[in-house]
Amino acid sequence: MDATFARAPDSSADAEVQADFAKYLCVLVSGFLENATVALVLHHASTRSAPEIAAYVENQLKHWTNPKAEKLCNLMGAFNREWGTKTTEYLVDERKASLNSLVALRHKVAHGESVSTSLSQVKAYRDSIYEVVEFIATLMGQ
């Protein structure tokens, strides 16, 4: 993903090209959040529970998408109430807004709706998402 961001056009490039690239990067960052969260949860389940429990968790997360703040907090709270509380406390202000905005924007892009975003905005979303994923990893002891 970082390599793709590095190939993004600079501010002197055509505005339409920048906007198209921003949409593409939005989808990548949102997918990263989904995949990283699921990978962290599955790793936790596979290292701390019976294989049957890990298989159940994996099955339940097969279609876990669009992780807005509330959905992420609920997932963490389903494993441990304290994790849910800590995640809720962590996902405030800019982090919560970035996460929710990113997922909403990805949804619009995926469904062909008109969206307006910039490369700099998507880069800010990416930075916030990296922080959130690092927080979840630390919370789960990984």
Residues 6+ apart with CB under 8 A from 133: 32, 33, 36, 37, 40
Q: Are 19 and 11 in contact (CB under 8 A)?
A: no
* CA proximity to 34, closest of 4, 75, 2: 75
What letter would DSSP give residue 13? S
* CA proximity to 29, closest of 126, 94, 117: 126
What letter would DSSP give residue 61? T
List, for residues 69-127, the tens digit of each pLDDT value: 999 999 999 999 999 999 999 999 999 999 999 999 999 999 989 888 889 999 999 99
Distance CA 109, CA 72 (A): 21
pTM for the model stands at 0.91
List, for residues 1-46, the tens digit of each pLDDT value: 888 888 888 877 888 888 889 999 999 999 999 999 999 999 999 9
* CA proximity to 57, closest of 68, 67, 48: 48
Evaluate the CA torsion angle 136, 134, 1, 94 in order and state its sign. positive
Q: Are 47 and 62 in contact (CB under 8 A)?
A: no
Buried b (16+ CB within 10 A) or exposed e, 31-59: eebbebbbebbeebbeeeeeeeebeebee
